[in-house]
Structures are given as structure tokens and as C-alpha cells.
Amino acid sequence: NAGVTQTPKFQVLKTGQSMTLQCAQDMNHNSMYWYRQDPGMGLRLIYYSASEGTTDKGEVPNGYNVSRLNKREFSLRLESAAPSQTSVYFCASYYQGQPQHFGDGTRLSIL
Amino acid sequence: GESVGLHLPTLSVQEGDNSIINCAYSNSASDYFIWYKQESGKGPQFIIDIRSNMDKRQGQRVTVLLNKTVKHLSLQIAATQPGDSAVYFCAENTGGFKTIFGAGTRLFVKA
């Protein structure tokens, strides 16, 4: 039982490049989330998907897009990467009323 | 906006001592609280949770206390071990799809 799996684990991009971060969960949870974690700050919600077929903006959605591909998979896309998007990105899945389960993160550097 | 915060950013304890990590929350409507542990290079890991109809909940070597009067949450770790060294952060949920996370306290355990 892998829980929440994120790929890649590390990535370096140049400003203006695009990429997609992948996330998959095997817990049959309805809800999935993308957060970013910056030094000295709590996790900030980028986008979430309450259920398959729906997505909603979180606290810091600018510069990102998401796709809920199916119940298992939720991807995060950076269309034109900027240095301000250098961060650690975490995906989480959730069943209402229970704690969220997190992946081990993608460490993204944008030069 | 409403937020979850921590009193102490860094806590250093001697191995074998008890640790207490504190958290303040501001949303009186929050009814579910979670403590997470995050080790270097890993995603947040669920430790223990408590609902607003409880004041105290115990797990294995960990206890969470909730004081709704002053909107305060604490995590107590008994007989702290080197493996407990990590960042600990609290989170609050109002029963919906969004969870608010604190910035975290780094716990150092001295051998």
C-alpha cells in the first residue's frame, strides 16, 4: 500500500519552461490537494479537487493549473515557470473527517 | 484571515525528557485538529488528532490537549527519543474540504 506517490522527487527548470507534477493515491479517497511549502511558512493550498471531476482554487493558485485525471490521479502544471515558484510541492489525499495523507514531495528549483 | 500559529519555532530537549509543543488557533468554528510530524526530506506524517468535543486524547507516547476557551492546542511527547527530532505542526479543520496548517516547531533531541 503506497499511499500517495509523487513524481518526480526533484526537478530543476529554467525560467519560462513548463512541467507537470504527478500525484497518485491508492486509498480510494475522493479529495486531493496540492500544496506548496516554503521556509518558515505553513503549507499553502494551491488547488484542490473535492471529488472526481471538480477542481477549485486555493490560497495561491496563480501560475498553476491542475487536472483531476481520474479518482486516483491529480496533476499540477506550471505553464511558464518563474523563480518565485521554487518550492517543495506536496500532494495530499483526504477522506472527509479524517487527516490528510501526504506524499513525500517534489523539490522544484527554477533558475 | 484566520490562521493556525505556534508559540515556539525551535524546541531543544534532552533525550528521555518530555516535550511540549504548543499551537494557537483563531477560528472558533474549527472542530477538528491534527498534529503532523515532518522529517527532513519527507512529507508530513499524521501523529494524532482530536475533535472539539474532547479535551484530551492519548496515543502511543503522545498526548494532545485542547483548550477551547483560549483556543490552544498542545502536543506532549513522553520520553522523547532521537527519532522524534523533526518539525511538528498543527492543523485545523472546520469540517469542510480545507485544512489550515501552522508553520511548525522544530524539535531537537539531545542525546
Q: What is the pLDDT of residue B6?
A: 39
Q: How far apart are CA A82 and CA A19, in angstroms?
A: 12
The answer for residues whose C-beta is within 8 angstroms of residue B47's C-beta and 6 or more apart is: B34, B35, B36, B37, B59, B62, B75, B88
Q: What is the reported pLDDT for B97?
A: 79
d(CA B13, CA B101) in angstroms, rounded, equals 24
Nearest chain B alpha carbon to A49: B97
Interface touch A100/B99, C-beta < 8 Å: yes
A48 contacts B98? CB cut-off 8 A: yes
Instruction: Please tell me the distance in Å from A4's CA to the nearest CA on chain B.
Output: 10
pLDDT at B3: 41
Residue A89: its pLDDT value, please? 98
Between B32, B43, B49, which is nearest A104 by CB? B43
How close, in Å, is residue B101 to chain A by CA atoms?
Answer: 5
Residues of A whose CB is below 8 A from B46: 99-101
Nearest alpha carbon to residue B41 among A15, A37, A53, A18: A37
A103:B98 CB<8 A: no
Low-confidence ranges of chain A (pLDDT < 70): 1
Contact assignment for A42 to B49 by CB distance below 8 Å: no
pLDDT in the model for residue A40: 78
Residue B85 cell numbers, joined: 527530532
List per-residue pLDDT tens for chain B, 111 residues long.
334 443 448 999 999 999 999 999 878 889 999 999 999 989 999 999 999 999 999 999 999 999 999 999 999 999 999 999 999 999 998 877 788 998 899 999 998
- In the chain, the amino acid numbered A29 is H
Chain A nearest CA to B7, separation (Å) = 13
Residue A1: predicted pLDDT: 55
